[in-house]
Amino acid sequence: MAEFDLIDLLAARCAASRADVVLGIGDDGAILAPPPGQHLVVVTDTLVAGVHFPLSTAPFDLGWKALAVNLSDLAAMGATPLWASLALTLPEPSRAFVEGFADGFATLASRHGVALIGGDTTRGPLAVTVTLHGAVPPGQALRRDGARAGDAVYVTGSLGDAAAALQVLLDPAAGEVDARLRTRLDRPEPRVEAGLALRGAASACIDISDGLVADLGHVARRSGVAIELEVDALPASPALFEALPDRVPRRAAQAAGGDDYELAFTLDPAREAAMRTRDGGLGVTWTRIGRVVEGEGVRLLDRHGHDIVLPRAGWEHFA
């Protein structure tokens, strides 16, 4: 494929129509009409082959995940998704790969009303960068710096599935990966609806990409508080219990494995009942897993209140 054939293919598959896109793919830049009276939220994530996704990842799944991780960031800000730009680096311009990638990207984009408005294509080691724009009413964005002592800590969905899938993929003797776990790794479900529902209620929020303990460490540091997590309260799927029956590796996957793309948030516990009973809720299950206290850092505690020390708190690129 020639470069402009590749661009035309992506445009045909992914450039969904939105009235606020004045000029989309095909020029030196896009022209956009921001929503009146809204603040823009801009997020960017890069996925590199062999670092952020296994080389065995299907093109459809890579297209899905490249957008999903950015949608997850917008969800953590309580923002409504709008427009995406895509920078795609390929070793070779394979039509089959690009078609599969575009279909995965477009499937998730259409679900959330996202229009692809431009980007770049280059030759090199396989990598994908997506920049996503969203909108939020002034003063309603979810942030990391609002947690206060006395708040409770919650998480959506369940934890550890993606990390467990990756463990199996990296172990030549481990056999086949449970399809339920592999789906959580390859096609995470960004909690956009939950993020919108948490506006005006959650005191702080973050998405879990690098690991629960590591990511909540950002909330603790930005908010000037400490966070205590109850390890036995961390939600686990039936598939995770089957894959990791030993509680030690299971806990490590849940607390530090990463790639969950769930939302961790803090909330005045007096508001929990109202949040659970109001129409629509968060659109996903959510679990109370800890508390915010005076101090600093994040502690993972067993049922007796003793500290659990993990080999690592989460993913760190330059550790």
Q: What is the pLDDT of residues 169-216, one digit of tens each?
A: 888 777 889 999 999 999 999 999 999 999 999 999 999 999 999 999
Rounded CA separation 198/168 (Å): 35
Place of tokens 């690098």: 210
Are 172 and 53 in the same domain?
A: no
Instruction: Look at residue 166 and tell me if it is in a domain.
Output: yes
pLDDT at 27: 87
Instruction: For residues 77 and 23, state if they share a domain.
Output: yes
- The CATH number given to whatever domain includes residue 292 is 3.90.650.10
Looking at the structure, do residues 215 and 107 belong to the same domain, yes or no?
A: no
Kindly report each contact of residues 50-59 with a partner whose C-beta sits within 8 Å and lies 24 or more positions away, as own/partner.
Answer: 51/317, 53/186, 54/166, 54/169, 56/169, 57/186, 58/100, 58/104, 58/186, 59/96, 59/97, 59/98, 59/99, 59/100, 59/101, 59/104
Give the pLDDT of residue 318: 38
Per DSSP, helices labelled H in the chain are 3-14, 59-77, 95-111, 161-170, 179-186, 192-198, 212-223, 238-243, 247-256, 272-277
**Whether residues 175 and 271 fall in one domain:** yes
Same domain assignment for residues 197 and 118: no
Q: Are residues 38 and 162 in the same domain?
A: no
| Residues 232 and 102 both lie in one domain | no
Q: Which domain holds residue 14?
A: 3-136
Beta carbons within 8 Å of 90's beta carbon, 6+ residues apart: 6, 97, 98, 121, 122, 123, 124, 126
Kindly state whether residue 224 falls inside one of the protein's structural domains: yes
| SS3 (DSSP) at 63 | helix
Domain boundary among 68, 103, 136: 136
Cα-flanking dihedrals φ and ψ of residue 5, to 5°?
-65, -40
Does residue 236 lie in a domain region? yes
Number of domains in the chain: 2
Does any domain span residue 315?
A: no
Look up the CATH number of the domain holding residue 72. Answer: 3.30.1330.10
For helices 247-256 and 212-223, what crossing angle results, to 10°? 40
The answer as to whether 310 is a domain residue is no
| Same domain membership, residue 231 and residue 127 | no
Q: With a cut of 70, which residues of the chain have pLDDT below it?
A: 1-2, 15, 279, 312-319
Query: Is there a domain that residue 147 lies in?
Result: no
Q: What is the pLDDT of residue 1?
A: 65
Q: Which residue has the tokens 């029956």?
A: 245
Indicate the pairing of strand 286-293 with strand 152-156. antiparallel
pLDDT digit string, tens, across residues 51-81: 889 888 999 999 999 999 999 999 999 999 9
Instruction: Tell if the pTM clears 0.75, that is, is over it.
Output: yes
Whole-angstrom Cα distance, residue 190 to residue 175? 28
- Domain boundary residue, one of 109, 136, 163: 136
- 157 and 259 within one domain: yes
d(CA 33, CA 24): 11
Cα angle, residue 58 at apex, residues 245 and 89 outer, rounded to 5°: 125
Q: Are residues 7 and 78 in the same domain?
A: yes
Query: Quick check: helix, strand or coil at residue 54?
Result: coil
Last-in-domain residue among 136, 169, 195: 136
3-class state of residue 42 by DSSP: strand
Do residues 224 and 146 touch, judged by C-beta distance below 8 A? no
Beta carbons of 60 and 183 less than 8 angstroms apart: no
The reply to whether 121 and 164 lie within a common domain is no
Residues 157 and 294 in one domain: yes
pLDDT at 172: 77
Q: What is the 3-state secondary structure (H, E, C) of 85-112?
A: EEEEEECCCCHHHHHHHHHHHHHHHHHC
In a domain, 47, yes or no: yes
Residues near 274 by beta carbon (within 8 Å), at least 6 away in sequence: none
Give the C-alpha separation, 229 to 69, whole Å.
24
Tokens describing residue 30 = 């896009």
Strand order through the sheet with 127-136? 39-48, 127-136, 80-90, 115-123
The per-residue pLDDT for 69 is 98
* Contact partners, residue 163, CB within 8 Å, separation at least 6: 253, 254, 256, 257, 258, 259, 260
CA quadruple 32, 101, 94, 317: dihedral sign? positive
The verdict on residue 313 lying in a domain is no
